[in-house]
A and B are shown apart, each in its own frame.
Chain A
């Protein structure tokens, strides 16, 4: 397993470089433009100057290599300098700079990560906590009223898109009842109980919307996988050996059924960091998803490239974790 992990990690480096190149090429080819949101009163020749000022007149490969240098060399050096107080050269390094804000992209990401982890991460935890019990019980009592209700609920949760549930929640809880704020206050500082309560209140709706959506999906995979395993021979054997039903289901069957669920969760965790574009947009949570969509709408290539690449790293990393977990959940799986 260790050798496999090392080999996979080594393969990941060229893979990620290749991915970064493909992403850059796509962003470059995409027909949107950083001057697209400027007022139409600004004449075309001025727009051309603005583009040149952003460095868009350089050839493609130069811009890609420049990004690589800024991201792989300058930014890490910068982090080292800041965290250890070391000094490399004169400290005058070009960082990856957003075109819209003209500020370092990494700073923007650092500023926004906490909100995304709070809101989207919390929603994922809630989703897992809801989905796994529902999936297990639904499978164990297949076609019971609980199962039918769970099925109905999760299908509803998945087939109704978040732009709709988000708006519905706002109309119910903010407009009609007036219980929860419809706009996330990103300047709120949590330092006492009342501001903590405020924070919980403003997180409630986005977390609910996302948890509903994710739980729907997870519980379906959990249920299906449990059903596959409940009829296996080893379950019969375990029962025959006189193990308690609880032990059989929760230890043996659940463990063996987790493989697809682990896969789905591993695919979902990078999305936590990626933020939830639509939900963050509806509730105006200043998370990474909102940053990404603003970047895409404004054709802010350095920002989108950096964010997307960080997601790519997370995707590769968590898929590796999933593969390792498979081996732990089912020792028969071997990669070497």
Chain B
């Protein structure tokens, strides 16, 4: 019976039969997903944020993606190329992908290597403004060897060649659909950008930009009996707390994303018994960046440049004391709950990369911090604020606007006042802080403050590019239009040397050793004060099964397996 159903459903594309077969495609009805940021486009290459990338991951697929443990697993590829199976050349300059055979687009046409080549050309077009361009760094050429084989050649040796087409940020788009949308034409293709044809489990039925997307199951999806839901409603907008409420308290939605809300609120909502909080940990670390340069506005054009060292943060004792004075566990309990862990590393994961050399920071030690400052000659003045040679330990501490962050700021301010450091808090609208507008003094790159706090992470599991952020060349300055990643303006020859070496090393054990050493150097020097290893928090309805939180890729990575629990 089962066999017959399976056979028939393949032929008749899920024609309804009387028997309620387990594996019937689309048998579970509608799935309601709520993101508090609304998707504005369905083409991830032109997206304005995670909301667009994750919503389009229902439709578009890459060659391979990261599973919930950070392992690279095949999606459209037949297998993951490695040096061992011959997929990666010995000199590490090329990678050859084989596609699964028999995969068709949702319009019924077959997926071929030409689509992959096209997707690469689309993103690498200089006028296209593709936001996954960094996935394609150093790519010299992408060519189709045959209908199902693609060879990507790099200009340099790539110890980690899984940039192009791995992860939902760089999926395969259909050549036939996007052929006329290259380069400057990309933004004009509204119909294509709103309704890309994909190979994923769902297809776009209706898209109201900045509001809601309706998906229906893709009848041509390659896996039998999947997806379980026949339609998906993907609603956007509002705020995180009310999104959590819609899943946990009123039960109107099945899944809500990225709920950075104070933990006690979530716990109270969870008690309503309609849903539960799910979380997972990736590489996100909430950290303090310590400014090594003088941000004083009296310096005019030269503020925040390496020519003017910071009046007191250049003293290693001060940096160490600032870190020692923080009770990270309180920060976790107050702002993150289960979704946070105390960390002393800027590179806390994957597990193999996590160093234990800096665990001194895990316990607050006000006494030791005070002693350090005393020995360094910083003595408390009449108002309790330490000073030396007329320089007061007075800190301007900035971050983006977000109630959890403002709570953290308040705690740290109080902890620092216990060691005689005065703090002025400032919060800046996120679109300004992270925006990088050249005319604004408030961007996190310009860093016209003494300390700034935000979270950063890296895509995938390889930290090479991430750790290369703190080399001297990456220091933002007027000369490079403040386009740099080295916010603390940290510059150390040994660090630069290790970063260079990592770019040439393929042996995993050596890469791990280097990455750990670089992490330890940053923390030892106090350029970065890590606070919290942050997890991703979402909520699912109790009736929704199959959710496996993934911090390494789209949270909706396995949506074809999601189903209704009976």
Contacts and interface: CB of A to CB of B under 8 A. Distances in A.
A29 interface: yes
Interface in A40-66: 40-54
B540 interface: no
B188 interface: yes
Contacts of B47: 38
Given A40-B457, A103-B193, A286 B435 contact: no
Contacts of B190: 101-104
Contact of B437 (A32, A49, A101): A32
B436 A43 contact: no
Nearest to A41: B459
A53 B235 contact: no
B40 interface: yes
Contacts of A46: 130-131, 133-134
Contacts of A50: 129-131
Interface string A3-37: 00000000000000000000000000101111111
Interface string B433-458: 11111011111010000000011111
B46 interface: yes
A49 B133 contact: yes
A286 B483 contact: no
A41 B198 CA distance: 25
B265 interface: no
B210 to A, nearest CB: 5
A39 B50 contact: yes
A38 B209 contact: no
B457 A41 contact: yes
Interface string A287-309: 00011001001110000000000
Interface stretch (A68-76, A178-186, A209-217): A178-186
B239 A100 contact: no
B484 interface: yes
23 contacts: A29-B439, A31-B435, A31-B440, A33-B436, A36-B430, A42-B134, A47-B436, A50-B129, A52-B129, A54-B129, A101-B41, A102-B41, A102-B43, A102-B188, A182-B245, A187-B212, A187-B233, A282-B239, A282-B242, A294-B210, A294-B237, A298-B48, A299-B431
Interface residues of B, number: 74
Given A35-B436, A44-B484, A284 B238 contact: yes
Nearest to B210: A294
Nearest to B211: A286
Nearest to B238: A284
A44 B485 contact: yes
Interface stretch (B58-66, B249-257, B504-512): B249-257
B208 A111 contact: yes
B194 interface: yes
Most chain B beta-carbon neighbours within 10 Å: one of A45, A99, A282, A284: A284
Nearest to B192: A102
A178 B483 CA distance: 51
Give 4 closest A-B pairs by Cβ, nearest first.
A53-B129, A33-B435, A31-B440, A36-B435
B351 to A, nearest CB: 20
A32 B48 contact: no
Interface in A94-140: 97-104, 108, 111-112
B34 interface: yes
Contacts of A111: 208-209
A108 B209 contact: yes
B246 interface: yes
Given A39-B50, A102-B41, A299-B435, 15 more contacts: A34-B48, A34-B435, A41-B134, A44-B445, A49-B130, A50-B130, A100-B40, A101-B193, A101-B194, A167-B242, A170-B245, A174-B249, A182-B250, A183-B252, A187-B214
B41 A183 contact: no
Contact of A183 (B48, B133, B235, B442): B235
A183 B459 contact: no
Contacts of B46: 102
A1 interface: no
B126 interface: yes
Contacts of A36: 430-436
B133 A186 contact: no
A102 B485 contact: no
B134 A101 contact: no
Most chain B beta-carbon neighbours within 10 Å: one of A36, A43, A178, A286: A36
A281 interface: yes
B49 A281 contact: no
B134 A43 contact: yes
A38 B456 CA distance: 12
Interface in A215-269: none
A239 to B, nearest CB: 55
A27 B187 CA distance: 21
A181 B38 CA distance: 19
B71 interface: no
A294 B38 contact: yes
A170 B186 CA distance: 41
Contacts of B133: 46, 49
Contacts of B485: 43-44
Given A32-B437, A38-B49, A52-B129, A101 B210 contact: yes
Contact of B40 (A29, A41, A101, A281): A101
A101 B252 contact: no
B488 to A, nearest CB: 15
Contacts of B315: none
A46 B436 CA distance: 12
B106 to A, nearest CB: 21
B147 interface: no
Interface in B25-44: 34, 37-38, 40-41, 43
A175 interface: yes
A177 to B, nearest CB: 11
Contact of A102 (B193, B233, B245): B193
B131 to A, nearest CB: 6
Interface in B187-219: 187-190, 193-194, 206, 208-212, 214
A182 B187 contact: no
A111 B127 CA distance: 30
B41 A37 contact: no
B557 to A, nearest CB: 16
B129 A103 contact: no
Most chain B beta-carbon neighbours within 10 Å: one of A41, A48, A174: A41
A103 B126 contact: no
Contacts of B249: 174-175
Given A34-B48, A294-B210, A44 B483 contact: yes
A48 B129 CA distance: 9
Nearest to A104: B190
B252 A298 contact: no
Given A43-B485, A44-B436, A297-B431, A290 B459 contact: no
Contacts of B272: 175
A143 to B, nearest CB: 41
B48 A41 contact: no
A111 B212 CA distance: 12
Contacts of B237: 281, 284, 286, 290, 294
Contacts of A290: 210-211, 237
A186 B456 CA distance: 34
Interface string A153-181: 00000000000000100100011001001
A170 B243 CA distance: 12
A294 B429 CA distance: 14
Given A97-B187, A182-B246, A42 B238 contact: no
A294 B212 CA distance: 14
Interface in B229-269: 233, 235, 237-239, 242, 245-246, 249-250, 252-253
A97 B48 contact: no
B239 to A, nearest CB: 7
B212 A286 contact: yes
